[in-house]
Every structure is written in structure tokens, then in C-alpha cells.
Amino acid sequence: TLQAVYKAYSGRKAGPGIGNFMSFGEFQDLLEQIDAYDLEFPRQRAGLAFRLGMMTQAEESYASRFQEMTFIEFQHALGAVVSLRANFQYNRMAELVNIFFTKHLFRAVPLHAAKA
């Protein structure tokens, strides 16, 4: 389940009093764990996928929100990962997302969520 993966990988690096957001480092950890990288989407492009998933924030000088990914932004970032990978075709987006989730994302599903 996507929500379980987000919960398992988000908030681990947050300081006290910070909400449950996913940081860029946590997003990178997830991508590494699920073996998301390929020839067209190397590790160096993880930041691009992270930023493509994020909403634009008006204030980036005094607030850290632009570095804190919400669940909906996480979903968008995963879509960006799929679109940046090799052999992407726009007319096959739904199919490719399904394949990516089936072949890769299951590796990050916590054991208790997989049994449910």
C-alpha cells in the first residue's frame, strides 16, 4: 500500500515538532531500496523527481516547507520517477505506473502492511 510506504519512509529525519513529511534524503533512501534507478533515471536525477513532485512554495528563504514532501506530493514524485525511467511513453503511463509499483514498490512495503 502506498500510504504504508510513505509512512515507513517519512519523518525519520525530522526534528522534534516537525510534521510527518518526507525529506529528500528519505526519498533517496526509498528509491535506493526499491531499485528505481535505470539507464535513463540514474541516482543523479532523484532530485529532479523530488522537485517535480513538490508544489511551488512562495516562501523558500525562511521556511523549510519546500523541502518537506506531503503524501500527495509523494504520489506525484513517483509518477515523475516513472516518466523519467527508460522506455517511458506518455500513452502508457497508467500501465507503466502499475508495472513500476508491482515490480519495485513492493520492496518497500512494511511487513505488517503486506500481511493486511
Q: Which residues, including other chains, have CB under 8 Å from residue 51's CB and lie 6 or more apart?
A: none
Q: Which pLDDT score, from 0 to 100, does residue 60 have?
A: 59
Mean pLDDT computed over every residue of the chain: 84
Entry pTM: 0.83
CA atoms in the 13 A half-sphere facing the CB of 4: 13
pLDDT tens by residue, 44-89: 999 999 999 987 665 555 555 556 889 999 999 999 999 999 999 9
Residue type, 108: A
Q: Residue 21: which pLDDT band, with cuts at 50, 70 and 90?
A: confident
Q: Which pLDDT score, from 0 to 100, does residue 66 have?
A: 54
